[in-house]
Amino acid sequence: MIAVIDYGAGNLRSAVRALEHIGAPLHIVSSAAELAQADAVVLPGVGATGDTMRALASQGLDQAIRERIAAGVPFLGICVGMQVLAEMSEEFGLHQCLGIVPGSVRRFPAGRKVPQIGWNQVAHEGHWLFEDIPTNTEFYFVHSYYVDTPDAAIVIARTEYGLSFPSALAFGSAVAVQFHPEKSGRWGLKLLENFIRRAA
């Protein structure tokens, strides 16, 4: 069973529809007990990291996510679902995130329009998540912050927007993307298919 975490994220329904479109066997969960039964996990997200962390903590989902990832359960984080994996966030003041990957969530530098809304290229290096997806394919982004990590080994794709930032990460059985595959048409669905196939 693939668990899609419901903590009030605005893109939950669009993520669920995209996964249903490709035939994924999914279940929407909102408790740590439900998440503990999952064979794979999808964490969608839009909005601020602080709000997301508070919502996850209020439902006991923050520690449950850490435990599922530590256990090697396939995991996909989307947008803010990627950002909360970092150690800290600078969004609306400093606050702690899940601490699963090293680094901080930082705002784009001055001089770039924020949020970045729309299509942008994702340059990847052939990781299985991007199987049969050409490098520099465009995906849909909506964000003002990005994950700044010192661990280059976990970065599997980058995007240019005033600077080169990680647009996809991979570590163990977990992957995460800054863009929205559920809003990225053909190639977004292909990426979701790649994840579901690996998670099966």
Q: Which of 79, 91, 97, 193 is catalytic?
A: 79
Asked if residue 74 has a cis previous peptide bond (ω within 30° of 0), the answer is no
> Of residues 91, 97, 124, 180, which has the active-site annotation?
180
Strands, sheet with 145-148, edge to edge from the N-terminal-most edge strand: 95-96, 88-89, 104-107, 145-148
Q: Look at phi and psi of residue 79 and say left if phi exceeds 0, alpha if psi is from -120 to 50, else beta.
A: left
Please report where in the chains the tokens 């279940």 appear, as a residue: 27
Does residue 182 have an active-site annotation? yes
Which member of 91, 97, 143, 182 is catalytic?
182
- Give me Rg for the CA atoms of the chain: 15
Provide the 8-state DSSP code for 150.
S
Q: What's the CA gap between 74 and 198, in Å, rounded?
A: 8
Is 97 a known active-site residue? no
79 labelled catalytic: yes
Active site residues: 79, 180, 182
